[in-house]
């Protein structure tokens, strides 16, 4: 008698150190589903795989040594039906984050909903064109680099601001399908840079950690409140520039 064992893919996700872009391994993270420990399998490419769970919304808990705990809401209505896939960014704990290699930007701002940062010179790719109807982004990619992350910033270095977007599909090393329309006033020379994510809390507390990798110390911060989105440039070697208020 033949025995068939079938598996249903419930979720695929990667865990990234948002400050260094390093992919975490299975031995580094404990996973929870609505507070209960769950097993997982990690595949090549760093993806954790959950199988044979119902595709119902749940809270994915992540407890990794050296990182702040995360309780991530998984909403299947926002994911692909064939391949529900996520990239989750983890923030190093303050105790494990070497102050000589980076900075922590922390404080309280009532109403803050999100906080992120990008380097004006953080990438080797630049925008060449954008089709707003098809949401197709054409890039100048002289080194044929692969966009290994999901979330990127279209940086306006003249106005110290950036627009976040995520990559849905790589059509080629020069053509990408993205998730949203981009501002119409961009220039073909604007750089594309990986985004570093911070954390915000219900009480208005926020935390962002950035590594000093040498070179220019300039970063652009972007945060959202009930009043809208704001950006300002900071020098990570000058803590007095870290205030969250429009420039």
What is the reported pTM? 0.86
Domain covering 9-94: architecture: Sandwich (2.60)
At residue 99, does pLDDT exceed 80? no
Assess whether pLDDT exceeds 70 at residue 87.
Answer: yes
Q: How far lies 109's CA from each of 45, 115, 227, in Å?
A: 37, 11, 12
Q: What is the average pLDDT across 28-44? A: 89
CB neighbour class for 99 (10 Å; exposed up to 12, middle 13-18, buried from 19): exposed
Average pLDDT, the chain: 88
Residue 203: per-residue pLDDT: 92
Residue 148 — very low, low, confident or very high, per pLDDT cuts 50/70/90?
low
Mean pLDDT of the 93-105 span: 84
Question: Most confidently modeled of 55-59, 83-87, 142-146?
Answer: 55-59
* Residues comprising the chain, all counted: 247
pLDDT at position 114 is 96
The burial of 220, by beta-carbon neighbours within 10 Å (0-12 exposed, 13-18 middle, 19 or more buried), is given as: buried
pLDDT at 123 over 70: no
Higher pLDDT: 44 or 103? It is: 103
In the chain, where the domains are located: 9-94, 98-247
């Amino acid at each position: 008698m033949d025995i068939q064992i079938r598996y249903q893919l419930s979720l695929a996700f990667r865990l990234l150190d948002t400050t260094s872009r390093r992919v975490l391994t299975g031995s580094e993270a404990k996973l929870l589903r609505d507070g209960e420990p769950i097993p997982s399998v990690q595949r090549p490419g760093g993806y954790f795989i959950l199988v044979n769970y119902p595709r119902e919304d749940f809270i994915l808990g992540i407890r990794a040594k050296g990182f702040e705990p995360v309780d991530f809401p998984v909403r299947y209505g926002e994911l692909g039906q064939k391949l529900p896939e996520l990239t989750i960014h983890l923030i190093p704990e303050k105790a494990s984050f070497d102050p000589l290699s980076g900075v922590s930007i922390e404080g309280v701002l009532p109403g803050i909903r999100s906080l992120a940062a990008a380097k004006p010179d953080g990438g080797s790719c630049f925008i060449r064109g954008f089709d707003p109807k098809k949401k197709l982004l054409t890039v100048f990619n002289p080194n044929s680099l692969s966009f290994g992350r999901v979330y990127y910033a279209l940086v306006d270095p003249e106005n110290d601001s950036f627009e976040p977007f995520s990559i849905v599909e790589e059509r080629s090393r020069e053509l990408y399908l993205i998730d949203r329309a981009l501002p119409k006033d961009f220039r073909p020379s604007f750089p594309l840079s990986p985004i570093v994510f911070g954390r915000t809390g219900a009480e208005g507390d926020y935390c962002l950690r950035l590594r000093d990798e040498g070179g220019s110390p300039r970063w652009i911060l972007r945060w959202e409140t009930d009043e809208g989105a704001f950006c300002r440039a900071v020098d990570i070697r000058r803590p007095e520039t870290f205030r969250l208020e429009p420039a």
